[in-house]
Amino acid sequence: MGRWDSGRGVGFPRIGRNYIRIVKYGIFIGFIIVAVVVLSVFIPRSGLNVEIIERSEVMGTMQTISVRISNNNFGTLNNVEVQFGDQGPVESIGDMGPFSSVMITPPDADSLDFDKVIVTASNGQVQTIRSR
């Protein structure tokens, strides 16, 4: 008679098909949930973002203002330009790659009284205005 008498043989027990199907669908649903969470974070933040950062010293004698410009797109923005206020000089940044950011300060101390920052890119096709 020997070793094949038990009918099962030696080895791993059979796992039912239902368990494998449940695990497969669970992994698939997990990937869908991760994709929805990632897209819900990236889609609202996509585009050209401008953030104005103001810092003052303790005694109030020194004030620094810097602007962070972020490209949260998958594509490159060409000819990025920044203007502090309506009459301020236009500063050219150049090209910004995907998911890059640049910190900029106003060109001179007299231009700290600007009311808004105007950022244009791709020859005027993309424009963002951030008020102060």
pLDDT in tens, 83-124: 888 888 888 888 988 888 888 888 776 666 778 888 998 888
The pTM score is 0.62
> Per-residue pLDDT for 132 more than 70?
yes
pLDDT of residue 124: 82
Same domain, 34 and 54: no
Distance CA 120, CA 122 (A): 7
- What is the domain range of residue 16? 2-42
> Per-residue pLDDT for 47 more than 80?
no
Same domain, 74 and 114: yes
Same domain, 111 and 58: yes
Helix (H, G, I), strand (E, B) or coil at 6: coil
Same domain, 124 and 98: yes
Same domain, 22 and 70: no
Residue with tokens 């102060």, as numbered in its chain? 132
Same domain, 9 and 63: no
**Total domain count for the chain?**
2
Question: What are the tens digits of pLDDT across the range 6-31?
Answer: 555 555 566 666 788 889 999 999 99
β-sheet bridge partners, residue 96:
77
